[in-house]
Amino acid sequence: MREQAATGLARRIRQIKARMEALEEHKAKLAADARGLGSDATGYLARGADLELGALTTQLAILRRQEAMLTERPAAAPRPLPSPPPVPVAAPLPPPAARSVPARRPWWQWLARRKNSTS
Domain residue ranges in the chain: 2-71
2 vs 25: CA distance, rounded Å:
35
For residue range 63-109, what is the model confidence (pLDDT) as tens digits? 988 888 887 766 566 777 677 777 777 777 777 777 766 677 777 77
Side chain identity at 99, as an amino acid letter? R
pLDDT at 94: 76
Which residues neighbour 66 within 8 Å (Cβ) at sequence distance 6 or greater? 9
pTM of the model: 0.50
Are 67 and 13 in contact, with CB atoms under 8 Å apart?
A: yes
Which residues neighbour 59 within 8 Å (Cβ) at sequence distance 6 or greater? 16
